[in-house]
Chain A
Amino acid sequence: MTAADAVSRAAPAPAGGDRRRSGYLRYGLGRIGGAVVSLLAVLVTGFFLFRLIPGDPVKTMTGGRPVSAGQLAAYREEFGLDLPLWEQFTDYCGKALTGDLGTSYQFRAPVTEKLGEALGPTLLLTVTAFVLHTALGVLLGTRSAWHHGRTADRLHTGLALTLYSLPSFWLGLLLIVVLSVGVGPVPGLFPTGGMESGAEEGFAHVLDVAHHLVLPVVTLVAVEYGQTLLVTRSALLDEMGSDYLTTARAKGLRDDLVRRRHAVPNALLPTVTLIFVNLGRTVAGVVLVETVFSWPGLGGLFYQALSVPDLPLVQGLFLFFAAAVIILNTVADLLYPLLDPRVGR
């Protein structure tokens, strides 16, 4: 399959005591090899998406505005579009691998620089929302499954499904109308967008950013926690009939302990897998929420790039999002065997 697989297979058979570690090593190398192949596939996709699509990229870039033939030729040369496709491809790969993603058409600045500026705000928003929605989903999912069939379970499942069906951008717009602009007697409680409002320093600045963070985070958590809840619930329901839980109860353990120490850890693995596979969906949510709240992050940048369209920037962001999701998934794959010894043996 992959080069890494071949290497690990060619390695001499391990001595008995080392079997565990070499099993993990082989598993890990396989995963890393797979990730490298995936990343290369992203690189190739990124190239062909923007070159082989019907239509002239330069025409798309100038958005149908009247441009002189000389200017078109200058653009072609600037973006290397006058070279043969093969040379364009090797050129692009070489540059992308050294961190040069081209120049933004709109901002007249290197794409990498724009990405670097926007990364911080996105990480702040995404990590906060991610931690909260995962915690909320697992907590409520566990409750739901443990008391399945009761009113609380139905309420939680119903609410999760409803929120999961809402378009995140619409929820964001509504929250702005109700809580930022204010409807009727309700005053505006939160800022309508952006990440900071003044040139405040120190702790006041932190508070200011936190104040701006509330609505975007609430929106993201609301649309994302439902899936985690449902998966945790069904994974736990699968475990509920298991013999080891009966044994644990027969030992006289309290219900709470049976749940926390025995049932939940076993149900958590499918949940963790799903959370990481769904990172792609999270990225989509971030793009929309940042757009709605004018958050100065990668998602907002993506929207700005789309509306021009600023193809080098769109391409750079596509490569970045795809690579980030693949790398995070690989990290998760490498962590599973440590969480659950049944994996990767």
Chain B
Amino acid sequence: MSAFSTPLFALLLTLTSYRLAWWVYERTGRHPLAHPFLLAMIPVIVVLLALGISYRDYLAGTAVLQFFLGPATVALAWPLYRQLSTLRHIWRQVTLYILIGAPLAAGLAIALAAICGAPADVVGSLAPKSITTPIALEVSRLTGGYPALAAGAVAITGIVGVLAAPLVFRLFRITDDRIRGLALGLVAHAIGTARAFEYGERAGAYSSLALGLTGLLTALALPWLWPWIAGLL
């Protein structure tokens, strides 16, 4: 076995590309289009193609990273717990918002993909696209989706959400950081939350809250409802 087809090399390639991508991302003032998910792809793809390493082998080599998606999901309880106190005064509105908004985001993804003729496995990969990746990957397993498609869709959703947010907030004349945070967290998960923190601590806190609650509600409801939804497709 050559040194280039070892997990060590796959991991080294991934970490180096990710680190470089972060450096560039910071340099651009964290422009959404320079998100590390997009930038890190370039060197990784070039090297994999140049060395003739298959995606399957690369994925097997970086299994240690995927393993930590499980504990990362559990870890989301921590920011959620820390934000529970911000809920005290407006828990009714926030609960109602998540109960309407989370199905809305998932429903739009499902309906639009279905209208365009996507088969159930593709729709099942897109349904959890507004929730944070570790949870989305778990949900997509239960909805018969492809992990790669689910993870890619989640990342691109976050980037599109962050790109569109300033325009949408201007359109609605939003100056309330609670609204900015709750909207970004529900639609654009962790990528939106990182952006929300740039509006301020308060926006970031509300975004973390929306991210956690949306992920939780979607994970609880979608696998349950999926057999029924798939029946409609």
Q: Do A and B come from one complex?
A: no
